[in-house]
Amino acid sequence: EFPVLAQETRPGVPLIYLDSGATSQKPRSVLAAERAFYERDNSNVHRGAHTLATRATEAYEAAREKVAALINAPSAREIVWTRGATEAVNLVAQSWGSTHLEPGDEIVLTVLEHHANLVPWQLAASRAGATIKYAQLNADRTNVDLAHLQSLITPRTKMVATAYVSNVLGCETPLEDIVRAARERGAPDCAVLVDACQAVPHRPVDVQALGVDFLVASGHKMCGPTGIGFLWGSGDKLEAMAPWQGGGEMIDTVTLDGTTFAAPPARFEAGTPPIAQAVALGVACDYLRGIGLETIQNYERMLAERLLDGLRAREDTLGVTIYGPGDRDVALVAFNVQGIHATDLAFFLDQEGVATRSGHHCCQPLHHALDADAGTCRASLALYNTPADVDVFLEKLDEVAAFVKAEPEDTLEGLDDGDDASLFAPLPGTSPTE
What is the set of active-site residues?
362
CA angle 276, 282, 284 (to 5 degrees): 105
Q: Which of 376, 379, 380, 378 is nearest to 341 (CA)?
A: 376
The residues, any chain, with a CB within 8 Å of residue 52's CB and separated by 6 or more, are 41, 42, 43
Alpha helices in 313-386 (DSSP H): 342-351, 364-369
The residues, any chain, with a CB within 8 Å of residue 10's CB and separated by 6 or more, are 353
Sequential DSSP letters for 370-432: TT-TT-EEEEE--TT--HHHHHHHHHHHHHHHHHHHTS-GGGGTT--TTS-S-SSPPPTT--T
Q: What is the dihedral of CA 263, 265, 269, 272, to 10 degrees?
A: -100
Q: Which of 196, 198, 146, 174 is nearest to 334 (CA)?
A: 198
Which stretch of DSSP H or E encloses residue 281?
helix 275-291
Q: Which of 300, 375, 370 is nearest to 344 (CA)?
A: 375
The residues, any chain, with a CB within 8 Å of residue 255's CB and separated by 6 or more, are none
Strands (E), 101-147: 106-110, 131-135
Please tell me whether residue 48 adopts helix, strand or coil conformation: coil
Residue 415: CB atoms within 10 Å: 11
The residues, any chain, with a CB within 8 Å of residue 49's CB and separated by 6 or more, are none
